[in-house]
A and B are shown apart, each in its own frame.
Chain A
Amino acid sequence: MTIRLPGTDVVTIGLGGAGGIAVLPLTESGIDVVGLEAGRWMSPSDFAPDELRNNYRGWPQSVQKANREVPVHRANEQSPEFARDSLHPMMNAVGGTTLHYYARSYRLHPWDFSVVSETARRYGGDRIPEGSTVEDWPLTYADLEPFYDRLEYELGVGGFAGNINGNIDTRGNIFEGPRTRDYPMPPLRSTKFTEMMSDAARRLGYNPFPSPAAINSQTHNNRPACQYHGFCNRGGCHLEAKNSTAVTTIPKAEATGNLKIVTQSHVTKIHVDAEGRASGVEYLRDGETYIQPAEVVLLAGYTYENTRLLLLSNSDAYPSGLSNNHGQVGRHYMTHAQRGGVLGLFPHRLNRWYGLPAQGSGIDEWADDNFDHKDYDFIGGAHFWVSQDSRPILASRMNTFGRAPRWGSQWKEFIMENADRWVGAHLQKTTLPYEDNYLDLHPTITDPLGFPVCRITAEYKDNEKKLARFTQEKMEQWFREAGAIDTFRMPLGPMGPSTHAYGGTRMGNDPDTNVVNRWGFSHEVPNLGILGASVMGTSGARNPTLTVQALAWRTAQHLVENWRNIAI
C-alpha cells in the first residue's frame, strides 16, 4: 500500500553536503521543507578513533544504502568491466559525507569557470583537446564569490587569504580569485614537517600555503577547536570541530521550525504530473511506500545517484528518464584523477601520526592556468598537497620503494624503520569532460530492490595523462628539495568510483548540451532543482565541496526570490 502524505513546499532528496546547505536559506525565508535522507543522525559517540572501522570497513555504524549501489566501471564501450568496488566512496547520514570528509574547503580558480574562452584567448581555440565537451560555465567566479563568502562564515572555514580585493598576501594562495574579506578564522596550525615542506617549496621559488578547511582552528559558533587526534581522514569528529552540515546549517534550519527531516528514507522515484512538472517523490521507509507531494523538488544526492534517480524516473513525458529528453543526463562525467600521486621517502622520522589531511602545505604554481602552457601539449594543472596525516594500518601498508619485499623479516625491518618516514602527496588534476565518458544505468546489475545501479564508462585521455606525468615530475622535485631520498610515482589507475566525481546533470545555458540552467533548475522540468557536483562542468584542481555548497545556496536563494515563477 502506498501512503500519500500531505504536500509540502519543497522536498529535498538528500541532506548531505549540498541538500544540507540549501535547506537553510529556504527555511529561513519561511518555506516549508521536507528533507529526505537515506542515512540516520550520527552523534559524537559514533566517532571512535578507530582506523579499521573508518578507513577499511566502510563505516558499519552508518546506514549502508550507498554501499548497496556501488557503481560498476568500464573504461570504454569495448572494454570489460573492472571488478566492482566493495565500498561506495560516499556515505549516507544526516550531513552525508561532510561528516567524514577532509573538509578542505577551497574556492575554484576563476579559470575553471572559463576554460574554453580563456584557453582560446591565451593559446588559441585548437588547444581544447579533441573530443572534449567542455564549455564555459554559465556564471563566473565573481558571480559565485558572494556565496563562497557566505558559506565560509556560515560553516566556519579557516585559512589565510591570498587575495583580498586584489591585495596579495603571500601567507595565503596568491593564485586564488579575489575575495571580499578574510576568512573568519586562521588555518590549522603548521608542524615541523609541514614547515620543512614549505621551506623547500620556497627554495624552489614557490609560494606554499595552508589549506583552507571547514574545521575549527579556534572556538567558532560555540563549537570547540580541533584537537588534532589523527582520525579525521574518513572519520567523524567527536568534538564537532569539523563543520559538517550536520552541526552547522541543518540544525540551524531545523530551529526555524520549517524543516521536517525524515531519516532512513530510500527515494526510488521522482513523480511528474500531466504537464511534465515534478509533483513529488516516492520513497521507502520501514517497509512502507510513501509519496511526498511537493511544489518543488530538489535532487541533492551524490553525482552517481543524481544521474541514476533521474534515469530511473521515466514517465510518458520523459520516456528515457526525467529531464532527459535532450539525452544529456549522465553526460560530461569527470573524476579528479586523485590517483597518480607521488610518494616520498625521507631519511628521518616525520612524526605524522597526529594531525589531519587538512593540515599541511600546498602549492598552486602548477595548477589550472597559473603557468604558461604555450610550450606544453596539455591544458590545466594540479594543486599539490602534502599533509600531516598517517595512521598505523595505512603506514604499515606503505609502498616499499623497491627496497624490501612485501612480507617477512626484511619487510618487517623495513617498516620498523620507515613507517613514519614516508608521505604521499596528493595531486588534484584538471580533468576535462569528453563525449565518450558518461554515466548510465547498468543493463543487468541491480541493487537489492531490483533497480539498476549506475554504470561508469570513462577513461583518462591524453590531456590527463600528460598532465599527470608533468605534475608528478614537479612533485618529485619538491620532495627531493625537502630531503627525500627516494620517490615513487603512483599509477593514474582507472577512472572508477571517486569521492570527487562531477557531471551527469551539467549546468549551462544551452538545453541541448546541459541538464540544468544557470540557476540549477532543469531546462525541461522547471520546478526540479539539482544540487551537487553533478552540475559542475569542470573539475577544477582542488576539493569541490565548498563550490558544491556555494552553488546549492545560490540555487536555493534563486528559488526563494523566484518562488512564484518556479513553484506555480
Chain B
Amino acid sequence: MASFLSRREMLKRAAAAGMTSAVPAKALAQVLPERTRDQFENLSSVESKILEAIVSRLIPTDENGPGALEAGAANYIDKGLANALSKSHTAYSSGLAALDAYAHQLTGRGFVVLEHSEQDSLLEDLEQNLAVGFDPDSATFFNLVLRHTIEGTFSDPAYGGNQDFIGWEMIGYPGIRLGVTVEQQQMDHFPQMNRVSAHDLPMFDVNISEESGNDD
C-alpha cells in the first residue's frame, strides 16, 4: 500500500490549517501531497510514466478531489499484467509506445510533458479512433485503458488500486459490511464509510494473483 497521506490525515491537516471539518473538496485538492511513486513490476519506467499520465486525465485530480493517479489505477494495471491481465501485456507495451509516437508526431514532444489540454486532445483522438500507429486500432487501446482504469479506481484495494479507498469515497460507496441493518438499506440513510478490504477479512481465503477466466 502506498505511503502517501491518508484522506483522514489530509482532513486533519486541513483542519489544523484553520479550515472546518467540512472542508471543501477544492481545499483538499490544494493540500494533496506529492505522491510517492508505486514500484512498478511489469511495465518499464517509461511505460509506467505514460500510463500514469493517461489515467491522470481519465479520472483527473481536480477541485473535486483526488483521481485515478492517487488511487493507484496504474499500479493496479501493472500488478494485474503479471496474472489476470497478462493477456493485455503486449497491448499495453505497444499501445503506450504508439501513444508516445503519436504525441511526437503531432506535437514534437512526448505525451507525459504535454499540457493537460494537449493530452486530452490526443486521448480524444484515440477514443474516436482517429489516431494512427495502433494495433489493431487506437479506440481498442483507449477502451482497454479506460476499463482497467475504472477497475483500478473502484475495485477492492487488495488489487493495488483504490488506494486509501479513494475510489469508493469518490462515489459515496460506504464500504464492505457483512451484516447490513434495515436502516443501512434505506434511501435517506447514508452509512459511514467502512474502510475494509474483503481480503483483510480472515474468514475468506483469497489469492489475488489468480489468473482470470477472462482473457483481458
**Residue in B62, B174, B201 whose beta carbon sits within 8 Å of that of A353 in the complex:** B174
The answer to whether B185 touches A228, judged by C-beta atoms less than 8 angstroms apart, is yes
Residue on A with the closest CB to B190? A351
- Measured in the bound complex, the distance between the Cα atoms of B173 and A353 in whole Å is 7
The answer to whether B84 touches A60, judged by C-beta atoms less than 8 angstroms apart, is yes
Q: For chain B, residues 159 to 195, give those with C-beta under 8 angstroms from any C-beta of chain A.
A: 159, 167-168, 170-174, 176-180, 182, 184-191
The answer to whether B199 touches A392, judged by C-beta atoms less than 8 angstroms apart, is no
* Residue A416 at the chain B interface, CB threshold 8 Å: yes
* Residue B18 at the chain A interface, CB threshold 8 Å: no
B residues within 8 A CB of A196? 187
The answer to whether B176 touches A49, judged by C-beta atoms less than 8 angstroms apart, is yes
Contact status of A229 and B213, CB under 8 A, knowing A60-B84, A412-B60, A416-B170: no
* Residue A378 at the chain B interface, CB threshold 8 Å: no
Task: Output the least CB separation between A313 and chain B (Å).
Answer: 26
- Measured in the bound complex, the distance between the Cα atoms of B191 and A351 in whole Å is 9
Contact status of A419 and B187, CB under 8 A, knowing A52-B151, A396-B154: no
- Measured in the bound complex, the distance between the Cα atoms of B165 and A548 in whole Å is 42
Contact with A along B89-133 (1 / 0, CB 8 A): 000000000000000000000000000000010010001000000
The stretch that binds B, out of A175-183, A403-411, A503-511, is A403-411
**Residue in A45, A57, A388, A397 whose beta carbon sits within 8 Å of that of B185 in the complex:** A388
A residues within 8 A CB of B156? 50-52
Contact with B along A341-366 (1 / 0, CB 8 A): 00000001111011100000000000
Task: Output the least CB separation between B56 and chain A (Å).
Answer: 11
- Measured in the bound complex, the distance between the Cα atoms of B206 and A48 in whole Å is 7
**Residue in A47, A59, A193, A408 whose beta carbon sits within 8 Å of that of B187 in the complex:** A193
Contact status of A227 and B178, CB under 8 A, knowing A392-B167, A395-B171: yes
* Residue A326 at the chain B interface, CB threshold 8 Å: no
Contact with B along A172-202 (1 / 0, CB 8 A): 0000000000000000010111001000000
The answer to whether A227 touches B58, judged by C-beta atoms less than 8 angstroms apart, is no
- Measured in the bound complex, the distance between the Cα atoms of B215 and A189 in whole Å is 38
- Classify chain B: how many residues form its interface, as a range: 35 or more
A residues within 8 A CB of B177? 229, 354
The answer to whether A60 touches B171, judged by C-beta atoms less than 8 angstroms apart, is no
The answer to whether B57 touches A408, judged by C-beta atoms less than 8 angstroms apart, is yes
- Measured in the bound complex, the distance between the Cα atoms of B210 and A412 in whole Å is 30
The answer to whether B155 touches A48, judged by C-beta atoms less than 8 angstroms apart, is no
* Residue B64 at the chain A interface, CB threshold 8 Å: yes
**Residue in B57, B199, B204, B214 whose beta carbon sits within 8 Å of that of A56 in the complex:** B214
The answer to whether B210 touches A349, judged by C-beta atoms less than 8 angstroms apart, is no
Residue on A with the closest CB to B204? A48
A residues within 8 A CB of B39? none
A58-B212, A193-B187, A420-B171 are known contacts; what are 17 more A-B pairs with Cβ within 8 Å? A48-B199, A48-B206, A51-B155, A52-B151, A52-B155, A56-B151, A64-B213, A87-B214, A348-B187, A351-B187, A353-B173, A392-B155, A393-B155, A407-B58, A407-B127, A415-B171, A419-B171
Q: List 7 A-B contacts (CB under 8 A).
A: A50-B156, A62-B213, A87-B214, A192-B186, A348-B187, A395-B154, A395-B171
8 closest Cβ pairs, A-B complex:
A58-B213, A48-B204, A419-B171, A192-B187, A60-B210, A52-B155, A45-B205, A392-B154
